[in-house]
Structure 1
Amino acid sequence: MDQSQPVADGVPFEQEYRVFSRSWGAEYTAAGEVRFRLWAPAVETVSLRLADELVPMMPTGAGWFELLVNNLAPGTPYAFILPDGMAVPDPAGRGLESDVHGSSVLVDPTAYRWRHGAWSGRPWSEAVIYELHVGTFTEEGTFEAAAKKLAVLADLGITMIELMPVAAFGGARGWGYDGVLLYTPHPAYGTPDDMKSFIDTAHGLGLMVMLDVVYNHFGIDGNYLDVYAPAFFLGEGTPWGPRPDVSQDATRDFMIENALYWIEEFALDGLRLDAADQIEQDKESVQFTEDLALRVRQMFPERHVHLVVEDNRNITRLHERAEDNSTPLYDGVWNDGYHHLVHAWATAEHCGHYRAFSTNFWPRIAKTLATGFALQGERADGKGDELLGEPSGHLPPVTFVNFLQNHDQVGNRGRGERLWSLIEEDLGERLLTMLLLAPQIPLLFMGDEFRSKGRFFFFRDYPEALRETDPEERLQQARDFGTDDMSTDEIRDPNAPATFATSKLQWEEAETETGRAARAAFRALLEKRRRHLMPLLENVGGDVGHVLLAEDGRLAIDWQLGEFRWQLRGNFGESRITLPPTHGKTVHVHPPSAEADIRDLSEFPPGSLIVVCG
């Protein structure tokens, strides 16, 4: 698919609109100057270092310092110099000379020539999300190497890539959730233009690209903001780093402009906000998450731009639809409850996060499939007397992003096992079928397409002084994610290079007989989703799911999708059973040999399921 735009003198016609003007950082002006801006309310003076020259910056009030400089070429290193002589990188810089402790470099955001500049995205209803970590997706661990794998994913039926955070962090390797330079792609992955080329390549293949962003905390290693702008953060931090105070105008602008910057300059198709429920904000003011979404919707009315939150509160106000069923704020929410219920049932792991989801499985699994959240205003075991969640059945099913695993549930287990190592192959096929052929938006973790059994661990690259001295914290986290039989001796050192190396996706698994069969089955399921289900989701509303039966592994759910009824029937038990009949065209049967019994007799052998559209 080539959606390239007409080119004049080698520059796509809309190239000029790829630059977003920001409050912070270094920007080329229309006159060819570079304007440098820094908010440093805790110091009286700031200088700019260019090569070996120090130039005082002008205070402009409210803690801001500014300077205009002529004749600076892209690639010029620069740093801000504090009164005590400390040199710090630009917190809103686009590039780095080496790492987060060194100088920033000037980047011309118009230098990249977009090959598919006319791309405007795809509807949210067409999303099939594939989460990947750039550093471990390929052996090279770069944007360039990852781009070479995109055609394979597009051929399978994936429609959206979700990148784990790429904002620059301390060290060479890490998950990315400890970023400190939120505007700078991590240097180990490549340059800003390398990231743009990755996204450009994806668009040429019809793939959307979403970026995971972290606004609830900053990392520890390489965070210099708290030296010259401690007011940027709240007094009480987190175990992972300080929390931004988004009630401060300068902080709020920094974060919201960061979201606009990624979407505009990198032509991203959306953002996923990590732990949005942990973003501290003044309850009397406009909520930060709402403000961010409103700004995005206002700035990009002509593009399909999708916003998703991770939010454990199970609330609905961020996802309510307008009268015309459009999305004023957030398209979707990661639906942890669906994962927890399915995982707890399939693996019999009932400790930690799964404790509250370890009983009454099938009525609750059916409720998530029919109406969204697992917790909709009820108490949960191990979570006290508080009523958790809100009724969500009135929301469209595409509001909920369902998954069988993601980086959290794999990497935090301690042993790094994927679901495919914990359950039988046939059960895995049934669970994958239910995920991919239900009306919710499915999310896969890299390697799911060939049911990789390779390990994926928590890893990072902290200096010695910042490393954990007690593995008990990691052990408790492993137990929270189901691994309750581990000892401290088994906990891998997250800073060890071998932990990172072992987490690389093992592409050779895809070429085994088992891997090829898994990919063929995966492709066939996504083709059925594309042909039969996606057209019904284009403008789907709420209150469409209905549970007919859900007990002891017997599952019968209908969704009224416009004029068509989408029907799922499954026998996850060990005995032959009958289930409510279906009417219409068979979309999928597992196993194929069961179709006659199911359609003619409504009798389901153990381990069978059917999807029908009528």
Structure 2
Amino acid sequence: MTTLSHDPQVRHYMHCLPFGAQLTGAAHAQPHTRFRFWAPSCDKVQVVFEDEACAPIDMTPSGNGWFEARAECGSGALYRYRISEGQLVPDPASRFQPQGVHGPSEVLDARGYAWQHAHWRGRPWEDTVLYEVHVGALGGYRGVMKRLPALADIGITAIELMPLNDYPGERGWGYDVVLPYAPHAAYGTPDELKALIDTAHGLGLQVFLDVVYNHFGPDGNWLGRYAKPFFKAGKRTPWGDALDFARPEVRDFYSDNALYWLTEYRFDGLRIDAAHAIDNPEWLRELADHVHARVEPDRHVHLVLENEHNEANLLEAHFDAQWNDDAHHALHVMLIGESEGYYRAFANHPIRHLARVLGEGFAYQGDPSPVHADEPRGEPSAHLPPTAFVMFLQNHDQIGNRALGERLRALSDDGALRAATALLLLSPQIPLLFMEEEYGSTQPFQFFTAFEGELAEAVREGRRKEFAAFRAFSDASRREQIPDPNDLQTFVNSSPPADVPLDDDRRAWMHFYKSALTVRARLLMPRLHDARPLGATVLVDDAGHAANALVARWRLADGETWTIALNLGREGAKLDAQPEGMVVFETPERARDITDRGVLPESACVAWLTGAVPEYALHHDARVVRREEPLA
């Protein structure tokens, strides 16, 4: 729903929820609020107000476990639902919890914020350069807002906020969500969140939200007490009882949640966390169809998956892209040499995995994976455009799920990291950066929470046990050095300070990112629509053995060819043929002088923009990773 003001450039947006507390008649002297609550495990429910002058209201059963009530109250009213045995619980569709998840819910007038950039309609997906941030670590909504001009100047076109949906405690990653409609109060007010998004739009920046639809957190979720059918009986997940997406109430609860963030808060896109754990591809397609049918037709709204199953079919028509873990894992093994955990699946010939990623999207496309008991993982993906994949070197998971939360720069060689970063920023896949990466940060990003009591102890000890299988932490004394997630200092250690001066090192990294993103914006973005991979060739060393180097090519929308040569090895690799055309980026400086002699130097990345390359020239070698069907 959109409400217009007297100024045609200003609009007020509200998504009319079919459940929860929906304010009506706010413009009249006596506003009303409609309450609707699904409690199939209860015979009786009341709305109870914090204001003792307001008597509790008995809710009327309306069938299929639904209860309804109407009250003469307006914006700012605090309420809970009283269920069996007198237990008071927050509204599962609460729009705001000013006192946290264990406090009362607040009735909000969503139309109270006047949007200043109502003309904004988003940006095409091909324009996207994502930048992931943790709002709390950057000082809340206002802290993130202060950083927006610098991000836009560097060449970022979209910020992605880690989950804001309310979770217990003042601090946390946000994946322990228990109230999916309420933005976390510790970060600021709902209007401050809207102001952040509005300001971003004014700077030409998209804003994405990471949403969690596969589980609830361990503290503050009361649904099992009043709505047992919300969960699958007898089916557990690593996070608790599995949600039952076969039930229409569950499907509608999350489908409306997606529309709520996209319409009332004007987010430009959503990243669906751990979609594989939802275990219902049919509902995922239904969600995408629901969103695309309901948002304004002239808006660019994007849906992105995190999906361990590599289900390429979901990317054919329903979702814009998937986070490409395969790309990260192959590059990480090449940069760091680690082979434990999920890196085992990429430890043998990581360059070949990377070549397949650049040439076909996924590395695992139905192949047996040693991390999955040699069961097949993934689906064929060569028919998809490169923009169907989000590439990254760092994100909250890949840094924060390390025992000590080290960033790549603390683990790798600067030269090789620059080369890998050039590939990230100039590949036709969609790049994603993690906050402060553009300054060459070595500050850790660690796992932090604010649980209390037995739950805090369980999380602390559980995290230490998790790393017992890794060689570096096989000794108990070494595991004691893993930061306590509940210690405030762990959060402080992970929070980049504001207004850090640009010393020579930070300035040099920032200019590196800005230079590459300028090339992307001017030469690659305008040609990305309908881009297609032409293959990736693994290069060899002087002895004829496969090197940690490759050449990848893509046909762009105008028929020209984009070529990237990457060498993450410690010696030069043979270039069978010097790519023709214009060198548009190189690291290190003057790398082209060596490539002119038929050698790609160590820790190098060079990009060319050339005329069309004959297909037969790309398909002469068994090392080529290519599409099986004819290129369009």
Aligned equivalent of 2:364:
375
Aligned equivalent of 1:613:
609
Write the mapping of 1:115-514 to structure 2, written as runs, cut at 5 A. 115-137=116-138, 141-235=139-233, 236-281=235-280, 287-300=282-295, 301-320=297-316, 328-469=317-458, 473-475=462-464, 477-478=466-467, 487-507=478-498, 511-514=502-505
Q: Please, which runs of 5 or more residues in structure 1 have no aligned partner?
A: 321-327
Q: Which moved more, 1:49-58 or 1:105-114?
A: 49-58
Q: Output the amino acid matched with 1:462.
A: F
Aligned equivalent of 1:44:
43
Mapped partners of 1:128, 1:81: distance in 2: 46
Aligned equivalent of 2:618:
none
Mapped partners of 1:470, 1:568: distance in 2: 44
C-alpha change, 1:103 and 1:219, in structure 2 (3 Å) is same
Mapped partners of 2:100, 2:245: distance in 1: 27
Q: Output the amino acid matched with 1:305.
A: V
**Alignment check: 8 A CA contact 1:413 1:483 kept:** no
The Cα shift of 1:471 comes to: 5.1
Q: Output the amino acid matched with 2:530.
A: N
- Indicate whether 1:516 and 2:511 are aligned: no
**Alignment check: 8 A CA contact 1:413 1:481 kept:** no
Mapped partners of 2:248, 2:326: distance in 1: 35
Q: Output the amino acid matched with 2:274.
A: A
Mapped partners of 1:483, 1:117: distance in 2: 53
The Cα shift of 1:245 comes to: 1.2
**Alignment check: 8 A CA contact 1:160 1:209 kept:** yes
Mapped partners of 2:581, 2:450: distance in 1: 55
Q: Output the amino acid matched with 1:567.
A: T
SS for the counterpart of 2:254 is helix
Q: Which moved more, 1:447-456 or 1:79-88?
A: 79-88
Aligned equivalent of 2:561:
565
The Cα shift of 1:106 comes to: 0.8
Aligned equivalent of 2:90:
89
Task: Give the structure-2-normalised TM-score.
Answer: 0.90
Which of residues 27, 38, 59 is equivalent to 2:61?
Answer: 59
Mapped partners of 2:445, 2:578: distance in 1: 42
Q: Which moved more, 1:223-232 or 1:180-189?
A: 223-232
Q: 1:463-515 CA deviation, whole Å, 9 max, x = no partner?
A: 21322447563135447899656732112211111111111024566622211
Q: Output the amino acid matched with 1:67.
A: A
Q: Output the amino acid matched with 1:159.
A: T
Aligned equivalent of 1:582:
579
Aligned equivalent of 1:111:
112
Q: 1:392-443 CA deviation, whole Å, 9 max, x = no partner?
A: 1110000000100111111111111001100011111111001101100001
C-alpha change, 1:244 and 1:576, in structure 2 (3 Å) is closer
**Alignment check: 8 A CA contact 2:422 2:605 kept:** no
Aligned equivalent of 1:323:
none
SS for the counterpart of 2:312 is coil
SS for the counterpart of 1:535 is helix
Aligned equivalent of 2:622:
none
Aligned equivalent of 1:34:
33
Q: Output the amino acid matched with 1:530.
A: A
C-alpha change, 1:469 and 1:296, in structure 2 (3 Å) is closer
**Alignment check: 8 A CA contact 1:99 1:187 kept:** yes
Task: Give the structure-1-normalised TM-score.
Answer: 0.92
C-alpha change, 1:241 and 1:578, in structure 2 (3 Å) is same
Q: Which moved more, 1:342-351 or 1:227-236?
A: 227-236
The Cα shift of 1:154 comes to: 0.6
The Cα shift of 1:374 comes to: 1.2
Aligned equivalent of 2:598:
602
Mapped partners of 1:109, 1:219: distance in 2: 26
Aligned equivalent of 2:524:
533
Write the mapping of 1:544-559 to structure 2, written as runs, cut at 5 A. 544-550=533-539, 551-559=546-554
Q: Output the amino acid matched with 2:313.
A: R
The Cα shift of 1:33 comes to: 2.5
Count of equivalent residues: 590
Q: Output the amino acid matched with 1:516.
A: R
The Cα shift of 1:14 comes to: 4.5
C-alpha change, 1:377 and 1:270, in structure 2 (3 Å) is same
Q: Please, which runs of 5 or more residues in structure 2 have no aligned partner?
A: 540-545, 611-632
C-alpha change, 1:454 and 1:466, in structure 2 (3 Å) is same
The Cα shift of 1:596 comes to: 2.6
C-alpha change, 1:596 and 1:478, in structure 2 (3 Å) is same
Q: Percent identity?
A: 41
Q: Output the amino acid matched with 1:79.
A: R
**Alignment check: 8 A CA contact 2:342 2:371 kept:** no
